[in-house]
Amino acid sequence: MGAELTDKILDKKIVQRVAKLSSLAVKEDELAIYAADLGGIINWMEQLNGVDITDVQPMVGTEIAQLRLREDVVTDGDCKEDVLSNAPERIADFYAVPKVVE
Amino acid sequence: MSYMIEGSTGAWEVVIGLEVHAQVISKAKLFSGASAHFGADPNTHVSLVDAAFPGMLPVLNRECVDQAIRTGLGLNAKINLMSRFDRKNYFYADLPQGYQISQFEFPIVGEGSIEIELEDGSVKNIGITRLHLEQDAGKSIHDLTPKDTVVDLNRSGVALMEIVSEPDMRSPEEAGAYLRKIRAIVRYLGTCDGNMEEGSMRADVNVSVRKPGEDYRTRCELKNINSIRYVMQAIEIEAKRHIEIYENGGEVDQETRLFDVARGETRTMRSKENAHDYRYFPDPDLLPLIVEQSHVDHLKSTLAELPDDKRNRFQSEYGLPRYDANVLVAEQDVANFFEKVAKNRDGRMASNWVTGELFAVLNKQGLTIHESPISADALGSLLDLIADNTINGKIAKEVFEDMVETGDMPGDIVERKGLKQVTDTGAIEKVIAEILAANPDKIAQYKSGKDKLFGFFVGQVMKEMQGKANPAIVNDLLKKQLS
């Protein structure tokens, strides 16, 4: 990995694309604000690129432990009311969302 | 001869790769303790993990891992002792997490290969690229109300195995044979029920065409096809679409398409510009999955007999031709039925009766082997009656029909109808004498070289004796009389 720091420029087009992938409605005049905010966050994290990680194994968790496994037993579910408690709208026992047609 | 599609510029070869999504047989879901059972009331088989409530953490189901390993072993594939879960990010209403937990860079199963058998008897190896574990999404229903989409999360988080093939198939027939083989393997292993109609096995099909000897051209992906017949149809239709584009001077765009069965066409679902960008990254909630080689060995030693092994055994143990053995092992239940019938009996005869008479009845009545009107034991005792010369083969068919109708045991039917075979040479000789006396002209013709008339005499004798004479004795005696 290169250890040099580069300023990542986030343009409005990228913000628009990320918003679309996340199905977020972002107004045209907000694009520049988000571009600056997100760009700032990314550039702050870019500091990590300054660390020399040659010979360091990739790590995906902070615990030095074995992955915990569960037995194949039904121990959960049957809590429809809890599950639906966060639904913005509900029809019968379903979540209801604005019609999705892809 | 290999499958080619003739265009105006010559013959085109079709290149096919398949991604099969197979729902894992398990009691609970991949990362939660909710039931994975199909067909419950909406949103009842859902835990707060599956509904992605804040703070809920996934815990991997051990059995789902074992099922993936078993399937990998059945695909003659490398089991990766270290694998990892990644997040595949996309936004959809039936995906509450906003990502699917899948395996991208380090799948649990690596390269393998399976054999497929084609109509002309040839055998071909199809490469397996990988198998990985992933979560299923919930189910969106678009037609319940005019303005809403409603979501049922029962399926959300159920374990799937995605089995990816190499682009090794060259015809719809090969793709069909591959899918049937995958389905047989997972059914034998008990890792997926292989039921395509209910959606527990679905296929994405990658299709491209090329002139023989060329490199691969642009492929299109046909999504979510739920029957083998439709997969085969879709391939041909899509290949012809590509050929037409190329021959009119155009280029094929790489895109995701859907197959419209009713209209017999494929249509754009997502163009390249709108293609998903899944932004995969390692799931920080899960550590790498480490499997011990000793555990893999243990699973291997307790693996069910696979279709190919069973076929080889049927060939050597029962002396069956390869084709017949393949027919019997295509479905595990049929193979088990056959073995019950064949046990301590003539294997070839058992095979002929199962694949002949019994299949004819099942096909005609639209029944599965489970619903067979004749049990393996009943068919077995019919074969015993043939073997010990109580009845001959022809009468056996009559008894068989009676068994289908009445459900009676063959011995009772033979008794009731008086169908016992006549092996008394005196009785048979008497009938032969009558037949010969009534047909002096035929005897003359036979003796002057019309050999085929021998069959006529046999037929007359059998007819006179209501089919109950032992055919071998009739043949012997007739030959003596006519020489």
Q: Exposed/middle/buried for B40, CB within 10 Å: 0-12, 13-18, 19+?
A: middle
C-alpha distances (whole Å) from A8 to each of A1, A13, A31, A36, B281 are 16, 14, 16, 11, 20
pLDDT at residue number A3? 38
Nearest to B167 by CA among B218, B103, B202: B218
Mutation pick from B27, B30, B43, B290 vs chain A, by most beta carbons of A within 10 Å, is B43
**CB-CB neighbours of B477 under 10 Å:** 18
Cβ A94–B43 below 8 Å, yes or no? yes
Structure tokens at B300: 């291997």
Q: What is the pLDDT of residue B472?
A: 83
Question: Whole-angstrom Cα distance, residue A68 to residue B59?
Answer: 7
- Interchain CB distance below 8 Å, B41 and A78: no
Residues of B in contact with A74 (CB under 8 A): 27-28, 33-35
Quick one: pLDDT at residue A56? 85
Closest residue on chain B to A20 (Cα): B91
The predicted model gives B263-284 an average pLDDT of 86
φ, ψ (nearest 5 deg) of residue B139: -120, 125
Interchain proximity B45–A78, CB inside 8 Å:
yes
Asked if residues B59 and A101 have their Cβ atoms less than 8 Å apart, the reply is: no
Partner B, chain A 35-64, Cβ-Cβ below 8 Å: 60-61, 63
- Residue A28 parent element (H or E): none
DSSP state of B358: I
Tokens of B22: 């197979």
Looking at residue B363, its pLDDT comes to 95
Q: How confident is the model at residue A5 (pLDDT cuts 50, 70, 90)?
A: very low
Confidence at B139, pLDDT banded by 50, 70, 90? very high
* Cβ–Cβ gap B63/A72 under 8 Å: yes
- pLDDT at position B423, please? 79
Q: What are the tens digits of pLDDT across the range A46-82?
A: 898 899 988 887 766 665 678 899 999 999 999 999 9
Q: Using one digit for the tens of pLDDT, what is the confidence trace for A23-48? A: 889 998 999 899 999 988 988 998 98
CA distance, residue A33 to nearest chain B CA (Å): 23
Nearest CB to A77 within list B47, B91, B269: B47
Given this model, what pLDDT does residue A61 score?
60
**Hey, are the CB atoms on A75 and B46 less than 8 Å from each other?**
no
Question: CB within 8 A of B334, min separation 6: which ones?
Answer: B328, B354, B369
How far is the alpha carbon of A32 from chain B, nearest alpha carbon, in Å? 22
pLDDT for B187 equals 96
Structure tokens, B4: 């080619």
Tens-place pLDDT, residues B430-444: 888 888 888 888 888
Residue B53 in contact with residue A85, Cβ under 8 Å?
Answer: no
Flag whether residue A23 sits within 8 Å of chain B, measured between CB atoms. yes
Using one digit for the tens of pLDDT, what is the confidence trace for B323-368?
Answer: 999 999 999 999 999 999 999 999 999 999 999 999 999 999 999 9
Instruction: Report pLDDT digits (tens) over B87-106.
Output: 999 988 899 999 999 999 99
pLDDT of residue A64: 61
Q: Which residues of B touch A45 (CB under 8 A)?
A: none
Cβ–Cβ < 8 Å for B194, B218: no
B453: part of which helix (H) or strand (E)?
helix B453-464
ipTM of the complex: 0.79
Give the whole-angstrom CA distance, residue B85 versus residue B283: 6
* Average pLDDT taken over every residue of chain B: 94
CB < 8 Å to B47, chain A: 76-77, 79, 83
Cβ–Cβ gap B152/A71 under 8 Å: no
Q: How far apart are CA B343 and CA B336, in angstroms?
A: 11
